[in-house]
Amino acid sequence: MFEKVLGLPVHVLVVHAVVVFVPLLVLLAVAYIALPRFWPRLDWAVGILAVVAPVTAWVAEESGEALQERQIARGFSGEILKKINEHAEYGELLFRYTLGLALAVILLLAATGSHPRASRLPRWVPPVLSVAVVGLGVLAVVYTWLAGHSGAEMVWGNTFD
């Protein structure tokens, strides 16, 4: 399932979605926090991205593992295998932070929404969730960059020659 699509490794295709959706989730979530007057305009987009971003990160991680296994079967070893493993670790952490971010965002949307139960929550809940969203957002963006950069270095840095 995570091997190939149209002859190309799935990983090569899906990482581009991760590089777009994860930072976009962070950007819109921070905008949601900073601009309460735009909640009705942002909540739907933030909610959709809170589902899409971790799904793309998960597919990237799973397809990366399939590609990693294929490269090992092809005889990759030594320094290149070390770089592949480092890249895989970044991807795994990226998925975890993105999943945590998505959960925090969904809880924030619920806590600030118009549902009658949201108004009965303690006043400290939205600020605490906001801090969690920003912190996890920073980690998600950092690991998006680390995973993306290490992968690009392997491909475009002539490491596979």
What are 47-80's pLDDT values in tens digits?
999 999 999 999 999 998 888 888 888 887 888 8
Nearest 5 degrees, angle CA 4-CA 98-CA 19?
A: 55
Domain range for 53: 4-156
Mention every residue, 6+ apart, whose C-beta is less than 8 A from residue 146. 90, 94
Count of the separate structural domains present in the chain: 1
Q: What is the pLDDT of residues 101-130, one digit of tens each?
A: 999 999 999 999 777 776 777 889 999 999
Strand partners, 8: 5
- Whether 113 maps to a domain, the answer reads yes
H/E run at residue 9: strand 8-9
Query: Rounded to two decimals, what is the model's pTM?
Result: 0.88
- Whether 161 maps to a domain, the answer reads no
Q: What is the pLDDT of residues 92-106, one digit of tens each?
A: 999 999 999 999 999
Confidence band, pLDDT 50/70/90 cuts, at residue 29? very high
- Whether 121 maps to a domain, the answer reads yes
- Whether 37 maps to a domain, the answer reads yes
